Copies of this chain bind each other. A is one copy, B any other.
Amino acid sequence: MIFQIRPDSPIPIYEQIVTQVTFGIASGGLEPGTLIPSVRELAQTLLVHPNTVARAFQELERQGVVAARRGRGMEVTPEAPAACQKLRQDIVRGRIREALREAASSALPAEDVRLLVEEELARVNGQRRRK
C-alpha cells in the first residue's frame, strides 16, 4: 500500500489515513490477517506525528476493521473487507452527493454542471491511466 498524505489538505491527516486504509482493505490490497505497519513505522514513512497515526488506528479499531494482536501488532479482521467495501461506497457517494448538492444550490444551469462533471471525470480517468 502506498499512502498519499496531503498535510495541507483541509481533511485532517488522521482521517486521510483512516480512509486510505479503508480503501486499501476494500480494494483487496490489504487482506484479513495481514499485520498493518506499526504506529512508529508508519509515522516515520509518512513524516507524521506518531500520535496522529495512533489516532487513526484507534478509529480503525473502533470501526472493527483492524484489531490489536497482543505482542504482534494490528491485524486486518476477517469482517473488514465486506465492511470496508460498504464504507467505501458510502464515503464516495457522500462526497459526490455533497459536491452536486452545492452545484445545485449555486444556480448554475444543470447542463453546465453536467459539463463540469464530465470534464472532471475525464480528467481523473486520464490521470488514472497515466499512473
Q: Give residues in A with beta carbon < 8 Å to B.
A: 4, 7-8, 12-13, 19-20, 23, 26-27, 29, 49, 62, 67, 70-71, 88-89, 91-93, 95-108, 110, 112-114, 116-117, 119-121, 123-125, 127-128
Contact = CB atoms under 8 A, between A and B. Distances in A.
Contacts of A97: 120, 123-124
A13 B72 CA distance: 14
A19 B20 CA distance: 30
Contact of A117 (B62, B89, B117): B117
Name the prevailing secondary structure of the A interface residues: helix
Given A91-B102, A96-B103, A99-B99, 14 more contacts: A12-B70, A23-B107, A92-B102, A92-B106, A95-B103, A96-B100, A96-B117, A96-B120, A100-B117, A100-B121, A104-B125, A104-B128, A113-B121, A117-B117
